[in-house]
Amino acid sequence: MLNSIARPVVTHVINPAVRGLARLGVTPDMITLVGAAIATAGAIYFLGRGSLVIGPWVIAASVIADLFDGALARMQGTAGRWGAFLDSSLDRVVDGAIFASLAYWLMTENETGLVVLTLIALVAGQVVSYVKARAEGLGMTCNVGLMERAERLIIVLLACFLEGVGVPYALLVGLVILAVGTSLTVVQRMLHVREQAKADSGPPPAAPAPAPGEG
C-alpha cells in the first residue's frame, strides 16, 4: 500500500542520482546485489549483536537500493523479467536476515515472547510474498493487503531504533503490530485470490506444484 503511493514520488526525487549512476556505467543488477549484500551483512552484524541504533540506519540506507535499481532499469530501458526476479528473490533474503538476526539476539537475551513474535512476523512476511507470486503465476492478481514489504521494514527498523535509544516497550509494540498485521495480510490476500478463483468459470491454468521449501 505505502509502496505504491511513495515510490513514484521518491523515484522522481532520486532521478538525478540515477542519471549519474548510468553515466558511470553502473547496472541495475549491480545495485541490487550490492544493496542486498550490505543489508544482509548489516542485519547479521548489527541486529544479531543487539546494536539497535546503528543497525537500522545501515539497513535502511542499503534498502534504498530497491528504488535505485528499478529507476535505473527503466531509464536504461533494460527493465525485464530477470531484474524483477532477482530483486524479489534478494528481498526475501534480506527480510529473512533482518528478522532471523533479531530473533537470534532476542534469544540470547532470553526474551522468549519477543522471539515468538519475531518468528511469526518472519514466516507470515514470507507467506505474504509467496501468496502474491503464486497467485500471479496462476494468472490472478494479488495487489492487496494491509502490510506489504515497505510497511514491514519501516515498522521493524523503527521499533528497533526506538528500543535502542531507550523508548520503553518499543520493540514489543512493533513486533505485535507486525505479527498481527502481517498475518492479517496473508488472510486478506488469500480471500482476494479465493474470490477471483470462484469468479473464474473456466478450467484453472496448468501450473507446476511448488517444490518443497519454495517461497
Phi, psi of 148 (to 5 degrees): -90, -170
Given 66, 69, 87, 91, the catalytic residue: 91
- pTM attached to this predicted model: 0.84
Render 125-151 in DSSP notation, one character per residue: HHHHHHHHHHHHHTT------S--HHH
Q: Can you spell out the DSSP letters for 33-52?
A: HHHHHHHHHHHHHHGGGT-T
Domains and CATH numbers, the chain: 2-199 (1.20.120.1760)
| 87: annotated active-site residue | no
Tens of pLDDT along 142-182?
988 889 999 999 999 999 999 999 999 999 999 999 999 99
Tell me the per-residue pLDDT of 41-55, one tens digit each, with 9 for 90 and over: 999 999 999 999 999
Render pLDDT for 29-86 as a digit per residue (tens, 0 to 9): 888 999 999 999 999 999 999 999 999 999 999 887 777 887 888 887 777 889 889 9
Residue 37's pLDDT is what? Answer: 95
- The grid cell for 74 is 527503466
Give residue 65's pLDDT.
72
What are the helix (H) ranges across the chain?
2-23, 28-46, 54-63, 65-76, 81-108, 112-137, 149-164, 170-199
